[in-house]
Structure 1
């Protein structure tokens, strides 16, 4: 009887440990591994090794679990036949199956999935020992399964998973609404083109470079724009921009005869079809906050600013007390609709 109990206890105990380790291992995310490394955790190296070559620890866990189930059940069944007789083997097998299901599958995997972060150190040490113990068997399974796994180890769904995590973080209260929205907007950032966020040429506020500071002070001081594009003879010939503060300072120091041309700064040009990350890199490299958007033929489509990019990331317009129009692209569409209506009438 003692031998029978020992067989059952050992089989269930080994299977229990294997199931806990399996649940913990499969609960570890790539982000958690990186987090351990950033914190310089002493378990980071082991967890990284197990996670990057997850087929080995899984093979070790499943091999040991199968051995425990098979040998344990067979030995316990044979011992039960000696103790209770052959007629009771069927009943004993049914009871043992139920015990294995509950005590070595359902309960341990629930524990592992629920408390996996606390159990990571124990799992790391235990599974590494299993891998070393069963290394010959693992090599055999690797030879048999080496052709089954994908050659490309990258995760094509990682961006979708991060977006889902942002939504989940908001639902669970781990993230605020602005944080969740910012994460999702950042994931969409590389798919947007400059033409989608720029201020269209039709509603662009610009001035001829021959305009004097006195004329600006008399006619355009109500303008809220801090950077004003300037052009030569033709409004489509934008060749720079002036800072509003430069105009005000020049008017105070030098009088009103100074032209905007003398205050003009060079403006960078960028193609309308370029992605936003390239525009961001250009802004940082050139230390600029404004760029002229052009077609491949050099025609001006509009102006884009660093503020436009920040608004895209935040998912909302940045306005202050002096802004009369919130969405310049919508203003351009409205202006075009009014023009069509006037032409039709």
Structure 2
């Protein structure tokens, strides 16, 4: 009995103490009543408004990075070479940005600021205010209003920008009183943006970055294409003196040289189509050039001097002339060879010659070796190494034809069935036929008839 009375008195003493310290009954009752009041007053509507503001702020933040990250030059490229979807999206985005990139930028930033500043106010009413509202709004803005939207818009900026172009246009006019004057000030101080314009060095780097990694990638650039494009970009800044043939390495003739069979054979063996001609005893005073094709009807037995033949004009240019300018001159058709001189128009100062082939080699970034070239590199005396072709009918037909004119021995079958060698009469067995070149690689197949 005493124990029960003691327990009852202890409970009656502890309960009021707990109630006094923690305020449990009063606090729980007031909290429950407050939550019920908030829910009944529009808690769901306020939470929906918070979610809407977070998403809207994310749209503005993502579009700020996505739309402003679209380069106008790239948009023009997509308008011309993109797919139908890309052309459509690029057209919408271009139409929006052409109203003013700074206007679009100020509108998106201003709208984003308004949304971000409104969000803590709404959260204050939802969760009771204080630092909790600031912390929650910061977390929502950073995660759902900045990081995720911007990551998405960086990757799909063109598509999202095209889909939201009309919405952005509406906000541009809603923010017009503040956004448009601010955009005008930015245009005045910063100037209008016209897209990225690459200089030559940047273009060369850009082209090299688009070189195909895999040979099966047909849309990417090949190594040869990269080389040619890079060489073309350097053509204007390269002087003719850097690619010309020095005058000491040029095959020339004097006006007093006699075009006998030995000289004509020497011209043909060198294989040059144009030969500069200088005055007698003055190897730097050039008076014209002899075009080798004019010798087709010439008979070496006439033995006339070079000055009596038809000589073409040999244009002159300075050593600082760009390769692009000399190429434009060659395209006029007046001449495909020019004399490089320190004193153009004077009787001295010749330092080299430049031809259309030299410019084209510089244009494609590689050497061109024709059938008559002896050297790949005249300066370093690097000779041409020609690949020996087999005795196939398709590749050796022309070889056998030339061999019939070059060889002095023809295989002929005698009436008795025995093979005998008949020697073709020649005027001078020690002299070569006109137009012939020395060749010590004649094979048995070259003596066979042209047609079977």
Question: What TM-score, normalized by structure 1, do the two folds share?
Answer: 0.79
CA contact (8 A) 2:93 2:161 kept: no
Matched, 1:108 2:156: no
Instruction: Give 1:1-16 correspondences, 5 Å limit.
Output: 1-16=43-58
Moved more, 36-45 or 282-291: 36-45
Matched, 1:240 2:283: no
Name the residue aligned to 2:356. Answer: 306
CA distance in 2 between partners of 1:192 and 1:283 (Å): 16
Name the residue aligned to 2:68. Answer: 26
Deviation at 1:260, TM superposition (A): 4.6
Name the residue aligned to 2:113. Answer: 66
SS in 2 for 1:238: strand
Instruction: Give 1:111-122 correspondences, 5 Å limit.
Output: 111-119=152-160, 121-122=162-163
CA contact (8 A) 1:270 1:292 kept: yes
CA contact (8 A) 2:314 2:338 kept: yes
CA contact (8 A) 2:244 2:352 kept: yes
Q: Which runs of 5+ in 2 are unaligned?
A: 1-42, 215-219, 383-452
CA contact (8 A) 2:212 2:222 kept: no
Deviation at 1:312, TM superposition (A): 1.8
CA contact (8 A) 2:341 2:350 kept: yes
User: 267, 270, 295: which is aligned to 1:223?
Assistant: 270
Deviation at 1:223, TM superposition (A): 1.0
Name the residue aligned to 1:328. Answer: 378
Describe the superposition over 1:41-81 as per-residue Cα deviations: whole angstroms up to 9, x where unpaired.
Answer: 5654861772694222222222222222222x23333332x
SS in 2 for 1:190: coil
Q: How has the CA–CA distance of structure 1 residues 85 and 143 changed in structure 2, closer, same or farther, with 3 Å as cutoff?
A: same
CA distance in 2 between partners of 1:154 and 1:46 (Å): 14
Moved more, 315-324 or 144-153: 144-153
Deviation at 1:195, TM superposition (A): 0.8
Deviation at 1:275, TM superposition (A): 2.0
Name the residue aligned to 2:13. Answer: none
SS in 2 for 1:308: helix
Name the residue aligned to 1:342. Answer: none
Name the residue aligned to 2:17. Answer: none
Q: How has the CA–CA distance of structure 1 residues 23 and 318 changed in structure 2, closer, same or farther, with 3 Å as cutoff?
A: farther
Deviation at 1:303, TM superposition (A): 0.9
* Root-mean-square deviation over aligned CA pairs: 3.3
Relative contact order higher in (CA < 8 Å, ≥ 6 apart): 1
Q: How has the CA–CA distance of structure 1 residues 163 and 2 changed in structure 2, closer, same or farther, with 3 Å as cutoff?
A: farther
Instruction: Give 1:230-269 correspondences, 5 Å limit.
Output: 230-233=277-280, 234-247=282-295, 249-251=296-298, 257=303, 260-261=306-307, 262-269=309-316
Q: How many residues align?
A: 324
Describe the superposition over 1:269-303 as per-residue Cα deviations: whole angstroms up to 9, x where unpaired.
Answer: 11111222222222223453221111146411211
Deviation at 1:144, TM superposition (A): 4.2
Structure 1 or 2, whichever has the larger Rg, is 2
Q: How has the CA–CA distance of structure 1 residues 110 and 240 changed in structure 2, closer, same or farther, with 3 Å as cutoff?
A: farther
Instruction: Give 1:93-242 correspondences, 5 Å limit.
Output: 93-119=134-160, 121-122=162-163, 124-146=165-187, 148-149=189-190, 158-170=199-211, 174-209=220-255, 210-212=257-259, 214-233=261-280, 234-242=282-290
Describe the superposition over 1:53-112 as per-residue Cα deviations: whole angstroms up to 9, x where unpaired.
Answer: 4222222222222222222x23333332xxx323xx433432332332232322222222
SS in 1 for 2:376: coil
Moved more, 237-246 or 115-124: 115-124
SS in 1 for 2:287: strand
Deviation at 1:315, TM superposition (A): 2.3
CA distance in 2 between partners of 1:48 and 1:196 (Å): 48
SS in 2 for 1:141: helix
Q: How has the CA–CA distance of structure 1 residues 44 and 205 changed in structure 2, closer, same or farther, with 3 Å as cutoff?
A: farther
Name the residue aligned to 1:338. Answer: none
CA distance in 2 between partners of 1:67 and 1:268 (Å): 72
Moved more, 153-162 or 62-71: 153-162
CA contact (8 A) 1:213 1:251 kept: no
User: 282, 285, 305: which is aligned to 2:329?
Assistant: 282
Q: Which runs of 5+ in 1 are unaligned?
A: 333-345
CA distance in 2 between partners of 1:126 and 1:328 (Å): 68
